[in-house]
Amino acid sequence: MVSKTNEQALEASIEKYLTGTCLEEQNVIRDRAAELPFSPHHAYQLSRAQDFNARYAIDARCLWQFLEASQSDELERLKQRYEDWDLRILERFDRPAKKYGVLHLLKRGLAIDDVHLNLMYPAPLASSSERNKRQFAANLFSSTRQVRYSLSNTLEEIDLVLFINGLPFATLELKNPWTGQTARYHGQKQYKQDRDSSHSRRSSRK
């Protein structure tokens, strides 16, 4: 069997390792499957690039899925108050994300009026309660390929982005040594010089 050594094949291999499936497999069965399957034996869900909201740098589908599953009562309070509850959450997220970075919000959560939303549950200790362990298990990890993240340069793409509860925490630029590219030079050059960071919310500042 001929080995595939291009970047797309590497993307698919990483994606399948994380999620148990990949876009190439999904494209074959999409006419027969209404939803992308998720295997409990894999830690990540597979998301599609169209779920990514470049305005807020969020995978909105995964964010709502996480909040509905883990904090439905708090979310319902906002839905009862505001018709545009989803936009209010995104706008409330956007301001501190720009100022402090995503990690800050993952640690502290989000306050809207008197409603507090956790955006991530930390890993429990061995001595933690069952409630804390259930909360951590509610975290939703996902991966998305070919993410168009820029509002001004709409054709720019990041090869692979990893999310927790819809919020990006890692990006990957894959390079193919068979074509003379290396991660050390070409990958770093992309991040330093070629990427439009003006709309990025991926700061790791604390």
The count of other CB atoms within 10 Å of the CB of residue 187 is 16
* Tokens at 90, concatenated: 């995104």
Q: Number of helices (H) and strands (E) in the chain: give both, helices first.
A: 8, 8
Give the SS3 label for residue 82.
coil
Per DSSP, 51 falls in state G
Mean pLDDT of the chain: 82
Q: CB neighbours of 44 closer than 8 A, spacing ≥ 6?
A: 18, 19, 141, 142, 143, 162
Per domain, the residue ranges of the chain are 7-194
pLDDT digit string (tens) for 9-59? 888 888 888 888 887 777 766 655 555 554 554 689 989 899 999 999 999
- pLDDT above 90 covers a percentage of the chain that reads 51
- Phi, then psi, of 27 in degrees rounded to 5: -65, -25
- Rounded Cα distance, 7 and 191, in Å: 17
Read off the pTM.
0.79
CA distances from 206 to 47, 57, 99, 171, 187 (A): 28, 18, 10, 18, 25
Residues of 90-100 as b/e, b for ≥16 C-beta within 10 angstroms?
Answer: bebbeebbeee
- Please give the residue that has the higher pLDDT: either 137 or 206: 137
How far is 127 from 147, CA to CA, in rounded Å? 39
Q: How many Cβ atoms from other residues are within 10 Å of residue 62's Cβ?
A: 22
